[in-house]
Amino acid sequence: MNDARNWDVVVAGAGPGGSSAARESARRGLRCLLLDAKKFPRVKPCAGGISPRARGVLRRLGLWDKVAAAAYEIRGIRLGAPSGRETVLVGAGSAVVFDRPRLDALLAAEAVAAGATFEDGRRVLGVVTEGGRVVGVRTDAGDVRARWVVAADGANTRFSTDPRPRHVLHSCMAWFEKFPFRPHVLEMFFDAELSPHYAWLFPESDDRVNVGLCVEADRHAGTPIREVFRRFLERHYATELAAARPLGEWRGHPMVVTDVVEHHAPAGVLLVGEACRLVNPATGEGISYAIESGLHAAGFVADALEYGGDPLAVAKRYERSLRWKLEPGLRGGELFRRWGVGLIDPLVRLGQSAWFRRWAKQAPAT
């Protein structure tokens, strides 16, 4: 059955990008419908690392206190180099880990509190077009008409018309409880087998961690990513795993990354977050970019509804503003991906040296 309501904007996908776009749209007085294919709370394969960049964005939105109150604070890092050397550095808290089902439920609830309507368990199947312009979406429960569509449906987007080959990282991850780990310390291993990417352990609470890895899609052609992950677990965590209890299945998900921001979508659609490939090519960080692009998209939609304008010209201006705002971080990631891994070993050696540890007030190296 078709939706008789007339929306200003329909947002497809309620990850951080979609919920932020919906919240901002509603705050600007737009009638906004937020749709997600899955019933919430839903599992999202993601380490849940809230970087300093994401913290800044959440702070600007006035959401940081809520996130920080429910998240797990990180005060240090155990860093493993390709040579096998490693060090542990601790300092003031600068990041947190927040498990994605709860983070995404919180952001969706914020969108609803701002006035958006959220319908989960409703899959978007495609666009509805009239006169060469998108005027809504088709869903598994009928068509929805809207003056603008924000596409926030993630890595496997149905909306992007980007002709560039996709740069994909493969990932595999798992969750455990009773896994021995240093409290408030995250772990990153730049193993030679994963280079230039890495594997991680992110604590989500005093008793729960997620462990995973990401690699270039063609890095282990012919070897299933689960096998690469199994080998990694065996190399680094054989002892800890004997004590740990797995929580659920191992999960894999593509990360679609880029260092060059381009926007390719039908007229009347703005892409945000990973649907627009806004994921750091070195670290896989995407939450902050999704939120920032969601806010931008909502601003451009609100302005277009108020002042008018050709939808493709609006999309071009949106692309320029994303490029200006987000591309420096993504470019920095690409530089690190190409040349940065060579810095990890010297950094770890520095971290191990007695004078540095005294100067930086670290515990003696073990």
Ligand X SMILES: Cc1cc2nc3c(=O)[nH]c(=O)nc-3n(C[C@H](O)[C@H](O)[C@H](O)COP(=O)(O)OP(=O)(O)OC[C@H]3O[C@@H](n4cnc5c(N)ncnc54)[C@H](O)[C@@H]3O)c2cc1C
Structure tokens at 3: 């939706």
Q: Closer to ligand X at the Cβ: 27 or 197?
A: 197
Any contact of residue 36 with ligand X (CB under 6 A)?
yes
Report the residue from 10, 11, 14, 209 that binds ligand X according to the rule CB under 6 A.
14
| Number of Cβ atoms within 10 Å of the Cβ of 356 | 15
Specify the stretch interacting with ligand X by CB under 6 A; choose among 143-151, 178-186, 260-268, 277-285.
277-285
Residue 40 · residue 123 · CB < 8 Å = no
Distance CA 14, CA 40 (A): 9
Please give the size of the binding site for ligand X, defined by CB under 6 A.
40
CA dihedral 322, 326, 328, 333 (to 10 degrees): -130
Residue 285 · residue 49 · CB < 8 Å = yes
Q: Closer to ligand X at the Cβ: 16 or 333?
A: 16
- CB of residue 107 vs ligand X: minimum separation in angstroms? 9
Any contact of residue 154 with ligand X (CB under 6 A)?
yes
Q: Closer to ligand X at the Cβ: 81 or 186?
A: 186
Q: Closer to ligand X at the Cβ: 58 or 255?
A: 255
Q: Closer to ligand X at the Cβ: 154 or 266?
A: 154
Buried b or exposed e, range 37-51, using 16+ CB within 10 angstroms: beeebbebbbbbbbb
- CB of residue 331 vs ligand X: minimum separation in angstroms? 17
Any contact of residue 287 with ligand X (CB under 6 A)?
yes
Amino acid code (one letter) for 154: G
Q: Closer to ligand X at the Cβ: 124 or 341?
A: 124
Specify the stretch interacting with ligand X by CB under 6 A; choose among 66-74, 79-87, 283-291, 315-323.
283-291
Q: Closer to ligand X at the Cβ: 43 or 267?
A: 43
Classify residue 293 as exposed, middle or buried by CB count within 10 Å of its CB (0-12, 13-18, 19+). Answer: buried
Q: Closer to ligand X at the Cβ: 123 or 349?
A: 123
For residue 287, the number of C-alpha atoms closer than 13 Å in the C-beta half-sphere is: 24
Any contact of residue 37 with ligand X (CB under 6 A)?
yes
Specify the stretch interacting with ligand X by CB under 6 A; choose among 30-38, 55-63, 82-90, 185-193.
30-38
Report the residue from 281, 284, 311, 329 that binds ligand X according to the rule CB under 6 A.
284
Beta strands in 27-132 (DSSP E): 32-36, 49-50, 72-80, 86-97, 117-120, 124-130
Residue 201 β-bridge partners: 187, 211
Which positions from 110 through 139 interact with ligand X, judged by CB under 6 A?
Answer: 123-124
Residue 88 β-bridge partners: 78
- CB of residue 361 vs ligand X: minimum separation in angstroms? 28
For the chain, the helix, strand and coil percentages under 3-state DSSP, each to the nearest 5:
40, 30, 30
User: DSSP secondary structure string, 271-327?
Assistant: E-GGGGT-S-TTT---HHHHHHHHHHHHHHHHHHHHH---HHHHHHHHHHHHHHHHH
Which positions from 198 through 257 interact with ligand X, judged by CB under 6 A?
Answer: 212, 253, 255
Structure tokens at 121: 């368990």
- Quick note: the x/- pattern for ligand X over 39-78, rule CB under 6 A, is -----xxxxxx-x--x------------------------
C-alpha dihedral sign at 46, 47, 51, 57: positive
Q: Closer to ligand X at the Cβ: 87 or 288?
A: 288
- CB of residue 128 vs ligand X: minimum separation in angstroms? 14
Q: Which spans of this chain sit near ligand X (rule: CB under 6 A)?
A: 12-18, 35-38, 44-49, 51, 54, 123-124, 152-154, 158, 171, 173, 212, 253, 255, 273-275, 279, 284-288, 290
